[in-house]
Amino acid sequence: MIKRTIFFANPAYLSTKNEQLVVSFPEEGKEEKRVPIEDIGMLVLENPQITLTNGLITKLIQNKAAVVNCDKQHLPCSILQPLVGHTEQTERFRNQLNASLPLKKNLWQQTVSAKISNQAMHLFRRGKEHKKLARWATEVKSGDTENHEAIAAAFYWQNIFDVKGFSRYQKGIPPNNLLNYGYAILRAITARALIGSGMLPGVGIFHRNKYNAFCLADDIMEPYRIYVDELVYEIVESGEKLEELNTFLKAELLKIPAIDVVIDDKVSPLMVAMSRTTNSLQECFAGMSRKILYPVYE
């Protein structure tokens, strides 16, 4: 079942009744809305005048819905996490924390290779130079000791957008603003899936920043970034104005969880595919497998 992403940009009062999300509005005469909580995969809260009841928060967490809060710049800045994400959580934490360095280096090699391969295919589909990336994807060594990820990223960003003066920089010119928003949504999806698979999103296989609570999410989302890039590319090509991240653009980017991706030769919504990826990762930590399932961009 495809879970719904619900976005709130206006003041609202959110509560629960009969296992449903009940949305009430402060404006008189505006009709109350209801959504089954079991249908919700992500709740994005942008307006500071949104009120949630504790009962609703509890039910959302129990149903493994990601509750994402936005800052003053309207960018996702936090995700509400459950204390217990899986019945075997303690054992899976232990397996993750005890993972050997050679295993983590191998997992990072797979991750980088999958990311570069997807980037190469994206350039190919856009009729752009991609052969270097395709070659680099096959040359990634254990732990990516030659830093192919950074080399490939520099080449990819120089060639993907036909936007004068564009470079990939968080505070750079559009469409950087769209990429930032899309990646923040993707990060929340990844963190949700990791927690649901019983792992710690803060303990990475490559990223190690002590100030980053989502190091593992930042690792695992890498091969999935291409789907944000594809969506942003199509928005840029449509001629839509990009300077302001308006409601229309956000609505387009909030389609990310439902984008169809190919994983293990099967088509799945991105949010479902991410759970397959994180489950395959925990199997690697448990010694049951040596391969992470990542989507193949086609």
Which residues contribute to the annotated binding site? 149, 207, 222
* Binding-site residues for Mn(2+): 149, 207, 222
Please give the distance of CA 253 from its chain centroid, rounded to a whole number: 11
CA distance 253 to 256: 6
Main-chain dihedrals φ then ψ at residue 220, nearest 5 degrees: -75, -25
Strands 12-17 and 50-52: parallel
Main-chain dihedrals φ then ψ at residue 174, nearest 5 degrees: -55, 145
CA distance 122 to 128: 9
Angle subtended by helix axes 176-196 and 270-285, to nearest 10: 50
Number of Cβ within 10 Å of residue 12's Cβ equals: 19
* Residue 175: cis peptide before it, omega within 30 degrees of 0: yes
CB 256 within 8 A of CB 270: yes
